[in-house]
Chain A
Amino acid sequence: MNSPSDPPDSAVQPGPVRRGVGTIDPRTGPTNVGVPRTRVDGRAKATGATLFADDMHLPRTLHCKLLRSPWPYARITGIDTSAAEAMPGVVKVYTGESFPIPYGILPVSHDEHALCQELVRFVGDPVAAVVAETEEQAEDALAGIKVAYEVLPSVREPEDGFVIEGPPIHERRGPGNVHKAVSFAFGDVDEGFAEADLVVEGDFHFGGNTHLALEQQATLAALDRDGRLTVWSSTQCPHYLHKHTAKALDMAPADLRIVATPNGGGFGGKSDVFNHEIVVAKAAQELGRPVKICLTREEVFLCHRGRHPIRMHLKTGLTKDGQLTGVHLKTLLDGGAYGSYGVASTYYSGSLTTVTYHVPRFQFDACRVHTNKPPCGPKRGHGTVQPRFAQEVQLDEIAEMLGKDPADLRLGMLEKAGAETANWLRLPSIGLGTCIKNIVKQSDWTNLHRKLPHGQGIGLACSSYLSGAGLPINWDRLPQSAVQLRFDRSGLVVAFCGATEIGQGSDDVLAALVGEVLGLPAMSIRLVTGDTDLTPVDLGSYSSRVTLMMGNAAVQAAERGRALIADAVAEKLSVRASTLVFADSRVFPADNPDVGMSFAKAVQLGEQKHGTLGTTGSYRPMAPSARFKGGGVGPSPTYSYTAAVALVDVDVDTGFVTVPKVWISHDIGRALNPTLARGQLVGGVYMAVGEALMESHEARDGRPFDEGRYLLRNPSMLDYKHLTHLDMPEVITDLVEEPCPEGPYGAKEIGQGPLTPVIPAIANAIYDAVGVRFHEVPITPDKLLAALEAKAKGAEDVVVGPKPFPTDVPYPEPMDVPPPWEGGNGRARGEGDYAPGQGSKARKGRSS
Chain B
Amino acid sequence: MMRLPVLSHFTPKTLDEAIALASELPSARFVAGGTDLLPKLKRRQLGASALISLTRCEELQTIKRLDDGGWRIGAGVKLVELVRLPELRSSHPAIWQAASQVASPPIRSSGTVGGNLCVDPRCFWFDQTAPWREAAGQCMKIDPAVVCRVAPNSPRCWAVSSTDLAPAMGAARAKVRIVGPAGERTVPLPELYRDDGIDYMTLSHGEVIVDVEIPGSVGWRSAFWKIRRRQSIDFALLSASVEVFMLTDEVLEARVGLGAVGSCPLFPPEVAAVLVGTKLEDDVIEAAAAAAKKLARPMETSDMPSSWRRRVLPVAVKWALREVRGDDVTDARRRYGPQVLLP
Report which A residues bind B (CB closer than 8 A): 68, 70-71, 123, 135-136, 139, 216, 294, 296, 298, 649, 651, 653-656, 658, 694, 702-705, 707, 709, 711, 713-716, 718-719, 721, 723-727, 780-782, 785
B129 interfacial contact with A, CB 8 Å: yes
CB pair B137–A296 under 8 Å, yes or no, is no
Closest Cβ neighbor of B42 among chain A residues: A296
> Once the chains are docked, how many angstroms separate the CA of A185 from the CA of B283?
62
| 11 A-B residue pairs with CB within 8 Å | A298-B129, A651-B332, A653-B318, A654-B336, A656-B335, A658-B334, A714-B303, A715-B132, A721-B234, A724-B104, A782-B305
CB pair A139–B339 under 8 Å, yes or no, is no
**Which of A70, A654, A703, A726 lies in contact with B131, CB distance below 8 A?**
A70
B312 interfacial contact with A, CB 8 Å: yes
With an 8 Å Cβ cutoff, the count of chain B residues facing the other chain is 40
CB pair B231–A649 under 8 Å, yes or no, is no
Decide yes or no: A726 and B338 within 8 Å by CB, A694-B229, A785-B308 being known contacts. yes
B154 to chain A, nearest CB (A): 11
**Which of B135, B147, B234, B315 lies in contact with A654, CB distance below 8 A?**
B315
CB pair B134–A70 under 8 Å, yes or no, is yes
The B123-160 residues at the A interface (CB cut-off 8 A) are 124, 128-129, 131-132, 134-137, 147, 149, 152
> Once the chains are docked, how many angstroms separate the CA of A274 from the CA of B191?
53
Residues of A within 8 A of B312 (CB): 653-654, 781, 785
CB pair A723–B230 under 8 Å, yes or no, is yes
Residues of B within 8 A of A653 (CB): 312, 315, 318
- 1/0 contact string of B1-30 vs chain A (CB within 8 Å): 111001000000000000000000000000
Residues of B within 8 A of A298 (CB): 129, 131-132
CB pair A656–B338 under 8 Å, yes or no, is no
B304 interfacial contact with A, CB 8 Å: yes
B330 interfacial contact with A, CB 8 Å: no
B232 to chain A, nearest CB (A): 4
CB pair B233–A718 under 8 Å, yes or no, is yes
**Which of A68, A711, A726 lies in contact with B232, CB distance below 8 A?**
A726
Decide yes or no: A702 and B1 within 8 Å by CB, A298-B131, A719-B303, A724-B232 being known contacts. no
> Once the chains are docked, how many angstroms separate the CA of A654 from the CA of B134?
35
CB pair B136–A711 under 8 Å, yes or no, is yes
CB pair B307–A782 under 8 Å, yes or no, is yes
CB pair A135–B308 under 8 Å, yes or no, is no
> Once the chains are docked, how many angstroms separate the CA of A714 from the CA of B230?
16
Residues of B within 8 A of A123 (CB): 135
> Once the chains are docked, how many angstroms separate the CA of A705 from the CA of B3?
31
B227 interfacial contact with A, CB 8 Å: yes
The B49-89 residues at the A interface (CB cut-off 8 A) are none
> Once the chains are docked, how many angstroms separate the CA of A626 from the CA of B332?
54
Residues of B within 8 A of A785 (CB): 308, 311-312
**Which of B1, B131, B137 lies in contact with A68, CB distance below 8 A?**
B131
CB pair A656–B230 under 8 Å, yes or no, is no
Residues of A within 8 A of B307 (CB): 782
**Which of B1, B227, B233 lies in contact with A724, CB distance below 8 A?**
B233
Residues of A within 8 A of B305 (CB): 782
CB pair A707–B137 under 8 Å, yes or no, is yes
Residues of A within 8 A of B308 (CB): 655, 781-782, 785
**Which of A136, A705, A715, A718 lies in contact with B137, CB distance below 8 A?**
A705
Report which B residues bind A (CB closer than 8 A): 1-3, 6, 104, 124, 128-129, 131-132, 134-137, 147, 149, 152, 227, 229-234, 303-305, 307-308, 311-312, 315, 318, 332, 334-339
Closest Cβ neighbor of B6 among chain A residues: A136
> Once the chains are docked, how many angstroms separate the CA of A583 from the CA of B2?
52
> Once the chains are docked, how many angstroms separate the CA of A70 from the CA of B332?
44
CB pair A726–B3 under 8 Å, yes or no, is no
Closest Cβ neighbor of A690 among chain B residues: B230
CB pair A726–B135 under 8 Å, yes or no, is no
- Given A71-B135, A724-B231; 14 other pairs, CB 8 A cutoff: A136-B3, A656-B336, A658-B335, A704-B152, A707-B137, A709-B135, A711-B135, A715-B132, A718-B234, A721-B229, A724-B232, A726-B230, A781-B304, A782-B307
CB pair A702–B137 under 8 Å, yes or no, is yes
> Once the chains are docked, how many angstroms separate the CA of A296 from the CA of B132?
13
Decide yes or no: A70 and B135 within 8 Å by CB, A298-B129, A726-B231 being known contacts. yes
Closest Cβ neighbor of A654 among chain B residues: B312
Residues of B within 8 A of A703 (CB): 149
Residues of B within 8 A of A294 (CB): 1
Decide yes or no: A726 and B339 within 8 Å by CB, A139-B3, A707-B137, A719-B303 being known contacts. yes
Residues of A within 8 A of B304 (CB): 780-782
A434 to chain B, nearest CB (A): 34
**Which of A296, A714, A726 lies in contact with B1, CB distance below 8 A?**
A296
The 8 A-B residue pairs whose C-beta atoms are closest, nearest first, are A726-B231, A782-B308, A70-B135, A724-B232, A653-B315, A704-B152, A123-B135, A711-B135
Residues of A within 8 A of B315 (CB): 653-654
Decide yes or no: A711 and B1 within 8 Å by CB, A724-B230, A724-B231, A782-B304 being known contacts. no
> Once the chains are docked, how many angstroms separate the CA of A780 from the CA of B307?
13
> Once the chains are docked, how many angstroms separate the CA of A651 from the CA of B337?
12
> Once the chains are docked, how many angstroms separate the CA of A136 from the CA of B2?
9
Closest Cβ neighbor of B332 among chain A residues: A651
CB pair A704–B149 under 8 Å, yes or no, is yes
Closest Cβ neighbor of B305 among chain A residues: A782
CB pair A135–B136 under 8 Å, yes or no, is no
Closest Cβ neighbor of A68 among chain B residues: B131
CB pair A721–B132 under 8 Å, yes or no, is no
B231 to chain A, nearest CB (A): 4
A156 to chain B, nearest CB (A): 15
> Once the chains are docked, how many angstroms separate the CA of A216 from the CA of B2?
12
> Once the chains are docked, how many angstroms separate the CA of A719 from the CA of B1?
17
A700 to chain B, nearest CB (A): 8
Residues of A within 8 A of B129 (CB): 296, 298, 715-716
B312 to chain A, nearest CB (A): 5
Residues of B within 8 A of A725 (CB): 232
> Once the chains are docked, how many angstroms separate the CA of A288 from the CA of B234?
46
CB pair B231–A727 under 8 Å, yes or no, is yes
Residues of A within 8 A of B152 (CB): 704-705
> Once the chains are docked, how many angstroms separate the CA of A182 from the CA of B131?
38
Residues of B within 8 A of A718 (CB): 233-234
Residues of B within 8 A of A702 (CB): 136-137
> Once the chains are docked, how many angstroms separate the CA of A707 from the CA of B149?
13
A459 to chain B, nearest CB (A): 18
CB pair B3–A135 under 8 Å, yes or no, is yes
**Which of B3, B311, B318, B335 lies in contact with A651, CB distance below 8 A?**
B335
> Once the chains are docked, how many angstroms separate the CA of A505 from the CA of B304?
38
> Once the chains are docked, how many angstroms separate the CA of A179 from the CA of B212?
62
A18 to chain B, nearest CB (A): 46
> Once the chains are docked, how many angstroms separate the CA of A10 from the CA of B117?
70
Give the one of B129, B315, B335 with max A CB within 10 A.
Answer: B335
CB pair B137–A709 under 8 Å, yes or no, is yes
CB pair B136–A709 under 8 Å, yes or no, is yes
> Once the chains are docked, how many angstroms separate the CA of A216 from the CA of B147?
35
Residues of A within 8 A of B131 (CB): 68, 70, 298
> Once the chains are docked, how many angstroms separate the CA of A70 from the CA of B339?
40
